[in-house]
Amino acid sequence: MMNMRKLSLARKKELFGFLFVAPWLFGFLLLLVVPLYQSIRFSFSKLTIEVTGYAIKNVGFENYRTALLSDPWFNRILTEAISQMVLNVPLIIFFSLFAATLLSQKFRGRAFARAVFFLPVVLASGVIASLDASNLLGQFMSSASTNLEGNFSGFKSVDLKPLLFEAGLDRSIVEYLTGAVDRIYQIISSSGVQIMIFLAGLQSISPSLYEAAKMEGATGYESFWKITFPMVTPLILTNTVYSIIDSFYNNGVTHYMQGITFQQLNFGLSAAMSWIYFIVITVILLISTYALSKRVFYQN
């Protein structure tokens, strides 16, 4: 106890940070190190199922060449996944910040409104819908989400296009905006966690900053861009990283790799695809993190 009191504040923060990540680090060393090693080993091998187990034959980079140069679908599906991520992540961040700003205001029924915005996260997380693949509830939720996304937003984009063209907007901007309307259900269902993070950040901003700005004659618009937005830039970085990872978590690429593994039983090729996928995600995260970290404002 005496040694803890003698530690500096910075040292205490480092110690508590290590204690915070210690459970994850322990779980990683205990549960994930061996599977990661096996996955790397399989990616450079051809795995054959036998009666007594499996046999491994080293084939070098053959699986990687097959995934990148010979497979007819992997590159196309991967490109589509990256394109969808580039389109959806900015919309998710914008909508999350906008919704959190509204939900941080004081109004009657605020708790219910927050629950409504977070409800799609629970429904789309798979915890309920995936309890039983043959469950009537799962089938109903799947068909309902498809109908909502297709029927509700499709009509909106058709009506919106002529208005945007008449306003003189460029075709690329019009296509992006109408595409966002068509994906409104997907964007809302993917924004629950980000809204909660932004909401926590907005509530941590000292009211005295807004009071001082109001006394100086600042408008609500100026207060948002001079106080609110700079204070939540660290959370924009956090939510961007989370949204990128979440967009790559369950998409056509992961389904395709699962088919290669469990239907074609080509474990070496699927392992190589998985590591290519991992490298692509890592590069995207490094680029986006580096670009956004230059714009992040920290109080200290």
The pLDDT of 191-205, averaged and rounded, is 88
| Mean predicted lDDT score pLDDT of the chain | 80
Q: Which residues contact 110 (CB under 8 A, 6 or more apart)?
A: 103
Q: How far apart are CA 248 and CA 282, in angstroms?
A: 11
Q: How many domains does the chain have?
A: 1
Whether the pLDDT of residue 80 is over 50: the answer is yes
Whether the pLDDT of residue 121 is over 80: the answer is no
Whether the pLDDT of residue 269 is over 50: the answer is yes
Is position 26 within any domain?
Answer: no
Is position 10 within any domain?
Answer: no
Pairwise pLDDT comparison (243 vs 106), residue with the higher score: 243
Model pLDDT, residue 124: 55
Q: How far apart are CA 21 and CA 87, in angstroms?
A: 32
Is position 161 within any domain?
Answer: yes
Q: How far apart are CA 78 and CA 75, in angstroms?
A: 5
Is position 24 within any domain?
Answer: no
Q: How far apart are CA 140 and CA 135, in angstroms?
A: 9
Report for 120-134, 176-190, 249-263: range of highest mean pLDDT = 249-263
Is position 20 within any domain?
Answer: no
Is position 258 within any domain?
Answer: yes
Whether the pLDDT of residue 145 is over 50: the answer is no
For helices 171-182 and 74-103, the axis angle rounded to 10 degrees is 80
Q: Is 60 exposed, middle or buried (0-12, 13-18, 19+ CB in 10 A)?
A: exposed
Model pLDDT, residue 63: 92
- By mean pLDDT, which of 178-192, 195-209, 228-242, 262-276 is the weakest? 178-192
Is position 4 within any domain?
Answer: no
User: Which among 44, 85, 86 is positioned nearest to 67, based on CA atoms?
Assistant: 44
Model pLDDT, residue 192: 82
The pLDDT of 202-210, averaged and rounded, is 88
Report for 58-62, 182-186, 259-263, 275-279: range of highest mean pLDDT = 275-279
DSSP calls for 121-139: HHHHSSTTTTS-TT-HHHH
- What CATH number has the domain bearing residue 261? 1.10.3720.10
Model pLDDT, residue 10: 80
Model pLDDT, residue 123: 60
Whether the pLDDT of residue 151 is over 60: the answer is no
pLDDT band at 159 (very low <50, low <70, confident <90, very high): low
Whether the pLDDT of residue 126 is over 90: the answer is no
Query: In this structure, what token pair is assigned to residue 179?
Result: 């595409």
Whether the pLDDT of residue 100 is over 70: the answer is yes
At position 244, the amino acid (one-letter code) is I
Is position 122 within any domain?
Answer: yes
Which residue range forms the structural domain that includes residue 191?
44-293
Query: In this structure, what token pair is assigned to residue 46?
Result: 């051809």
The pLDDT of 149-164, averaged and rounded, is 55
- By mean pLDDT, which of 68-72, 136-140, 294-298 is the weakest? 136-140
